[in-house]
Structure formats: structure tokens, C-alpha cells
């Protein structure tokens, strides 16, 4: 059929989530060194358009909730409109899917525990100076503000690290 299987969208969300944390200096291995794990306890996907094999997609990832034990990330999977030669993202990006995942903090025995303050600080902290991801065509793939629009018209700001591009098949 040439289209991406519906279950693959959750993998796209995971890529966005891992990149969100990596750009704040905390990879998955670092979480386990702190003695914590973050298993997904809830996942939701709202499919808007069909993704096709081997097309370039962007994932926007936002931390939307942080409690003592749970973390929620919201996602938007986007495709550039046909005929966008410069590769710059805009408000005209086509929404392919949106959703969220809810993760619980547990220890190595799978017992719920409070998110350590140092991990919480990283999740809420700024991005570190980490090089941008490069798209399959060799160009940086970051959100760019739409020219001539006010912040209210553009919607919430998405920093470069919250937008990850990649070719999936």
C-alpha cells in the first residue's frame, strides 16, 4: 500500500521524546544511571493524514505536564506541503497526526517513585547548545517563524530541538 502502519506513529513520538531529552543533556542511559525508568502508561494518536514510506516528516514535541510521578509529552507530526523548495517549515505544514504519551517514573523494580529534582530540572530546563539535526537533503530542518505574523497568529513557539526531522520507511 505504500503507507506507514498506524503503530509506527508511536515510534515517531518516541523519537521526538528522546530528542527532547537529549537536547537537554539527558539521554536514556542517564535516566537509568539515576535509578529511574519512564515507561509509557498511556498513548493516544489522532490520525489526520496518511504518511507514506520514505517521506520526510517533522515531529514537534512539547512537555505539557509534569507531576511528582508522571510526565506527559504532546506531539504533532508534520509534513511540508508539496512544492516547498527551500525546506523551511511554516504554518502551512500539513498536520499528519497529533497525540500524546504519558510516562510514569518507576525504579528498577517497577515501583512508582517521585521524579528526582535533578531530572525534573532537566525536563523543564533550556536546551543545551547541541548541533541541529540535518534532513535527508543535507539542510537543517527547524521551525522558522512565518514572516509578517504576530506571535498570537503563529501560535505557541516551538524551539528548534522540539522539532525533529527524519526519513522513515
Domain hosting residue 46, numbered range: 8-168
The answer as to whether 158 is a domain residue is yes
The answer as to whether 24 is a domain residue is yes
pLDDT digits (tens, 9 = 90+) for 26-64: 877 878 888 889 999 999 999 999 999 889 999 999 999
The answer as to whether 1 is a domain residue is no
The answer as to whether 103 is a domain residue is yes
Distances 152 to 65, 79, 155, 161, 163 between C-alpha atoms, Å: 22, 22, 5, 21, 19
The answer as to whether 79 is a domain residue is yes
The total number of structural domains that make up the chain: 1
pLDDT at 53: 87
On whether the CB atoms of residues 61 and 10 are closer than 8 A, the answer is no
pLDDT digits (tens, 9 = 90+) for 136-157: 444 444 433 333 333 343 333 3
Pairing verdict, β 55-66 and 40-47: unpaired
pLDDT at 163: 53
pLDDT digits (tens, 9 = 90+) for 89-133: 455 799 999 999 999 999 999 999 999 998 899 899 998 876 544
**Which residue from 140, 138, 118 is spatially nearest to 130, judged by alpha carbons?**
140
DSSP the chain: --B--TTHHHHHHHHHHHHHHHTTT--HHHHHHTT-B--EEEEEEEE-S--BTTEEEEEEEEEEEE-SSEEEEEEEEEEPPTT-TT----TTPEEEEEEEEEEE-B-TTS-B-PPPHHHHHHHHSPPP--PPPB-TTSSB----PPTT--HHHH-S---GGGEEEEEE-
The answer as to whether 3 is a domain residue is no
Q: Which domain CATH number covers 101?
A: 3.10.129.10
pLDDT at 64: 97
Phi first, then psi, for residue 145 (nearest 5°) are -60, 140
**pTM for the model:** 0.72
Amino acid at each position: 500500500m505504500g503507507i506507514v502502519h498506524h503503530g509506527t506513529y508511536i515510534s515517531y513520538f518516541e523519537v521526538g521524546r528522546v530528542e527532547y531529552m537529549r537536547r537537554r543533556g539527558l539521554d536514556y542511559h542517564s535516566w537509568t544511571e539515576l535509578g529511574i525508568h519512564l515507561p509509557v502508561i498511556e498513548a493516544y494518536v489522532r490520525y489526520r493524514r496518511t504518511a507514506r514510506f520514505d517521506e520526510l516528516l517533522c515531529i514537534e514535541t512539547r512537555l505539557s505536564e509534569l507531576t511528582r510521578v508522571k510526565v506527559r509529552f504532546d506531539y504533532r507530526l508534520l509534513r511540508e506541503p508539496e512544492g516547498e523548495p527551500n525546506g523551511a517549515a511554516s504554518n502551512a505544514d500539513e498536520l499528519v497526526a497529533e497525540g500524546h504519551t504519558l510516562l510514569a517514573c518507576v525504579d528498577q523494580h517497577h515501583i512508582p517513585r517521585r521524579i528526582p529534582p535533578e531530572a525534573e530540572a532537566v525536563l523543564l530546563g533550556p536546551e543545551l547548545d547541541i548541533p541541529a539535526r540535518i534532513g535527508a537533503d543535507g539542510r537543517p530542518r527547524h521551525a522558522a517563524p512565518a514572516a509578517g505574523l504576530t506571535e498570537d497568529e503563529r501560535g505557541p513557539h516551538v524551539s528548534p530541538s522540539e522539532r525533529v526531522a527524519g526519513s522513515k520507511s
